[in-house]
Amino acid sequence: MPTPHYGQPRYRAIADKLREQIESGAIPPGALLPAESLLTADFRAARGTIRKAIAVLREEGFATTEHGRGTYASPQTKNPPNETDARQRVMPADARLAALFRVEVGTTLIEQEKVIRQGEQVKAVVRTYHVDDTGQ
């Protein structure tokens, strides 16, 4: 049965179950999760699907992975769920941007903002501006 994804995708469902095991202590902090090969058997999912589930846990801070070693359950996660890493908005061109893009002041531009973190700390904020093509 290849690939219906009604409701929730499989990798999310799998992530949920693994997260449960970590939060409940069934997989104690610092312990290794079962290898991907085992998880593919347990969940009868392709390796890619398993890896995607684990990627979710990493992003949420529930696990860390080391090449050749395995994936460890993270200790304590009191992390506030996602402080937006990236966002996009439209904004009118100010004088400088208007000059650069050679459009009139007030023309709608798209601003993408990306927050670059290193651990807890914000290292940089990158904002990319470009003209809105979506009206052509």
Contact footprint for a second copy (CB under 8 A): 4, 6-7, 37, 55, 97, 100-102, 115, 122-130, 133-134, 136
* 136 touching DNA, by CB under 7 A: no
How many Å apart are CA 64 and CA 57, to the nearest integer? 8
Decide whether 76 or 84 has the Cβ nearer to a second copy: 84
Distances (CA, A) of 78 to 12, 61, 82, 86, 127: 20, 9, 12, 21, 29
Q: For the window 41-80, what string marks contact with DNA as x by the rule CB under 7 A? A: --xxxxxxx-xx-x----------xxxxxxx---------
* Tokens representing residue 19 in the block: 């997260």
If one asks whether residue 3 binds DNA (CB under 7 A), the answer comes out as yes
> Is 54 exposed, middle or buried (CB count within 10 Å of its CB: 0-12, 13-18, 19+)?
buried
User: Where along the sequence are the contacts to DNA (CB under 7 A)?
Assistant: 2-6, 9-12, 33, 35-38, 40, 43-49, 51-52, 54, 65-71
